[in-house]
Structure 1
């Protein structure tokens, strides 16, 4: 399995490619993402953002008149490159390899996504917070994941069904079964429920999912 970048690292690479932003704006957005993710949106001040970005507070206010405006600007690059890069890395580590059995499909998929979620839980928590208050953000995420599911996951599922290696359930149902454990794990982490280690979570989710999907 290749080394996968963190969301912060992918975000930084995305900002570098955005020609519509000045270098100062890129520094402010990167600093804001890191602070919002590590200590929360409400707890972060413009002064802290300016200090981390290495710019004056006046420079921050000149481009972003409110902290909410900063948050909106922070989220924009996520859909202008960051999510695509993450999806491509996911494909390289999982579905891009091809799977010969449902056991292999489930084991690799769950382990890869659980480790990714564990490493990026602070940024994921920030995104989930926006989903609660921003309907446009929810719709954008929904469209993105639906598109990625069709491009990356669907061909493998169809092939395994044709080979009678996975249950002949509707595709939507199989996708729910595959990704529900990840949603559950993220929910537990966000709520601070840590009754199992990461390895135990992966083992438990893998066992249940294989039993559910295997013919």
Structure 2
């Protein structure tokens, strides 16, 4: 199986493909993302961002009045392009496989997503924090992510339900159960210093029992 594209690499690819964003602005946004993830939003200064981006601090302020505008500039393409692109990649490489049992499906999905969380945890925590408090970002993410789930995950769930491998719930409920359980692990590692992938067997067992046919 191919290695997942990292969040930062996907972000830079989207920036490079966007002809409306000048190179220096791309550098500023990429530097902002990296520093926000490494040291936190509050602990990052525009001076540090400028140094990381290799531009003068005045260049940052010509486009962004403050760090909040910088964060907004980073998050906007995440909701509309970066995350949908990563979900599409995940769907093609992992989800859209001919799984015969729910265990086989859950093991592949959970292990892949926990490994992805481990590699990209710092950035994902920023996204989750902002999505949890901003309705506009949440709405954007739902608008772009829902069709991808419907087109890729739901057919797999339907096939496993038809073969008696899954409980007969609406696909949206099953997806919520699976995704929500994995996201709680990301919250857990924020509070406890543990390797997110260590929890894979426990999470797989928990979801598998929860989705077992009645």
TM normalised by structure 1 equals 0.93
CA distance in 2, matches of 1:93, 1:208: 24
Structure 1 residue 80: deviation in Å? 3.9
Structure 1 residue 128: deviation in Å? 1.8
CA distance in 1, matches of 2:176, 2:207: 10
CA separation of 1:151/1:62 partners in 2, compared to 1, >3 Å: closer, same or farther?
same
Structure 1 residue 165: deviation in Å? 1.9
CA separation of 1:40/1:205 partners in 2, compared to 1, >3 Å: closer, same or farther?
same
Q: Which residue of the partner structure matches residue 200 of structure 1?
A: 198
Are 2:135 and 1:135 equivalent residues in the alignment? yes
Q: Which residue of the partner structure matches residue 94 of structure 2?
A: 94
Are 2:54 and 1:54 equivalent residues in the alignment? yes
Partner of 1:164: helix, strand, or coil?
Answer: coil
The answer to whether the Cα contact below 8 Å between 2:96 and 2:153 also exists between their aligned partners in 1 is: no
Partner of 1:104: helix, strand, or coil?
Answer: helix
RMSD value over aligned CA atoms?
1.5
- Counting only pairs closer than 5 Å after superposition, residues 53-72 of structure 1 correspond to structure 2 as 53-72=53-72
Range moving further from structure 2, 132-141 or 108-117 = 132-141
Partner of 1:97: helix, strand, or coil?
Answer: coil
Where do 5+ consecutive residues of structure 2 fail to align?
none
The answer to whether the Cα contact below 8 Å between 1:28 and 1:50 also exists between their aligned partners in 2 is: yes
Structure 1 residue 197: deviation in Å? 4.2
The answer to whether the Cα contact below 8 Å between 2:96 and 2:156 also exists between their aligned partners in 1 is: no
Structure 1 residue 64: deviation in Å? 0.9
The answer to whether the Cα contact below 8 Å between 1:14 and 1:80 also exists between their aligned partners in 2 is: no
Length, aligned pairs only: 213
- Counting only pairs closer than 5 Å after superposition, residues 1-215 of structure 1 correspond to structure 2 as 1-190=1-190, 192-194=191-193, 197-215=195-213
Partner of 2:96: helix, strand, or coil?
Answer: helix
CA distance in 1, matches of 2:188, 2:143: 25
CA separation of 1:197/1:56 partners in 2, compared to 1, >3 Å: closer, same or farther?
closer
Q: Which whole-Å deviations, capped at 9, do the CAs of 1:105-159 have from their partners, x for residues lacking one? A: 1110111111111111111111122124322012112223322221111111111
TM normalised by structure 2 equals 0.93
CA distance in 1, matches of 2:210, 2:134: 34
The answer to whether the Cα contact below 8 Å between 2:95 and 2:156 also exists between their aligned partners in 1 is: yes
